[in-house]
């Protein structure tokens, strides 16, 4: 038999407001259940069979599993609770119980983080056996050479039993602290002063690193293994999910049906 739920819970779970907000709407008589105005928030309904209208608009029952894509900003920890730090859950516009972040991004890492209550899918996405690819935009201090790049791709020693699995590393640019990249500098008329300034300015490299494991601080440790310190890190994709260009830092939205299906397909296919 279908589980009955309180009307206020049904509306809050469907994203129509907090429990106290929806209670007010109910008491005002703005909620109809099967055509009848119900004014008591505690009245129980059958989500699958009862037709609920809020201000004339149908309210569809929440699916069992929900999926959110968060653009995590720095400064939040990837946990459901923390006594001292702000958690990513504070950025999710849902009061659903059982939601959790799929894997961890460090407090200072930004980018794509999946939040769900689907334990099975999360487990598969994180399973080392599934080899789901994660791509990071990485900025490091120093110049990443072609030799470093090849080492990152072939596997480096990060202090585990084995080298890291084969990865993809694509250098975007090498540049100096003053923001000029090397191609620009090479074409400049170089006075002695310019050359001295250039030599003193710190070098940086930006690259894309795609890995299919998820060891603790993996990207930072891989870059350390080639002698470079990460100064900025952002995850831009996870399997088929890509950080959307129109999502701002700190914003969160539900995955589309298509995105959810692509994730399921990715874990079915990856071996």
Active site members = 106
- Closest CB to ligand URA among residues 145, 210: 210
Q: How far is the CB of 61 from ligand URA (least distance, A)?
A: 35
Please state the closest distance from residue 136 (CB atom) to ligand URA, in A: 6
Cα–Cα distance, 25 to 190 (Å, whole number): 71
Which residues sit at the interface with ligand URA, rule CB under 6 A?
Answer: 105-106, 109, 217-220, 233
68, β-bridge pairs = 115, 254
CA distances from 252 to 63, 67, 80, 218 (A): 18, 10, 16, 25
Pairing of strands 252-254, 241-242: unpaired
CB 154 within 8 A of CB 196: no
Instruction: Provide, rounded to whole angstroms, the least separation between the CB of residue 30 and ligand URA.
Output: 44
* CB-based contact 11:17 (threshold 8 Å): yes
SS (H, E, C) 191-225: CHHHHHHHHHCCEEEEEEEEECCCCCCHHHHHHHH
Q: Output 33 or 91, the one with its CB closest to ligand URA.
A: 91
Residue number with CB closer to ligand URA (65 or 100): 100
* Whole-number Å distance between alpha carbons of 19 and 182: 57
DSSP state of 49: T
| Contact between residue 123 and residue 116 where contact means Cβ atoms under 8 Å apart | no
Under a CB-based contact definition with an 8 Å cutoff, are residues 216 and 128 in contact?
Answer: no
Reduced to 3 states (helix: H, G, I; strand: E, B; else coil), residue 46 is coil
CB of 205 to ligand URA, least distance (A): 16
In terms of CB distance, is 121 or 138 closer to ligand URA?
A: 138
Q: Which is nearer to ligand URA, 116 or 218 (CB)?
A: 218
Contact 217, 159 (CB under 8 A): no
Nearer to ligand URA, 59 or 158 (CB): 158
C-alpha–C-alpha distance, residues 151 and 169, integer Å: 9
Rounded Cα distance between 135 and 230, Å, is: 15
């Amino acid at each position: 038999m279908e589980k009955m739920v309180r009307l206020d819970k049904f509306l809050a779970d469907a994203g129509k407001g907090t429990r106290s907000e929806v209670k007010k709407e109910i008491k005002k008589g703005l909620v109809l259940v099967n055509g009848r105005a119900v004014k008591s928030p505690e009245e129980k309904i059958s989500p699958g069979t009862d037709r609920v209208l809020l201000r004339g608009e149908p309210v569809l029952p929440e699916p069992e599993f929900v999926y959110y894509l968060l653009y995590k900003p720095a400064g939040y920890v990837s946990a459901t609770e923390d006594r001292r730090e702000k958690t990513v859950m504070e950025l999710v516009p849902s009061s659903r119980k059982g939601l959790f972040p799929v894997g961890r991004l460090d407090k200072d890492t930004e980018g794509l983080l999946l939040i769900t209550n689907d334990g099975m899918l999360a487990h598969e996405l994180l399973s080392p056996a599934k080899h789901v690819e994660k791509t990071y935009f990485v900025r490091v201090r120093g110049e990443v050479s072609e030799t470093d790049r090849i080492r990152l791709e072939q596997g480096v020693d990060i202090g585990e039993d084995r080298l890291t699995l084969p990865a993809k590393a694509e250098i975007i640019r090498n540049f100096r602290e003053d923001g000029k990249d090397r191609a620009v500098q090479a074409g400049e008329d170089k006075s002695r002063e310019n050359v001295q300034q250039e030599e003193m300015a710190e070098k940086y490299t930006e690259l894309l690193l795609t890995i299919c494991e998820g060891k603790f601080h993996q990207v930072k440790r891989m870059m350390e293994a080639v002698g470079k310190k990460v100064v900025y890190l952002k995850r831009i994709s996870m399997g088929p999910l890509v950080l959307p260009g129109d999502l701002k830092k700190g914003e969160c939205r539900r995955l589309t049906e298509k995105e959810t299906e692509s994730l399921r397909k990715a874990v079915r296919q990856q071996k």
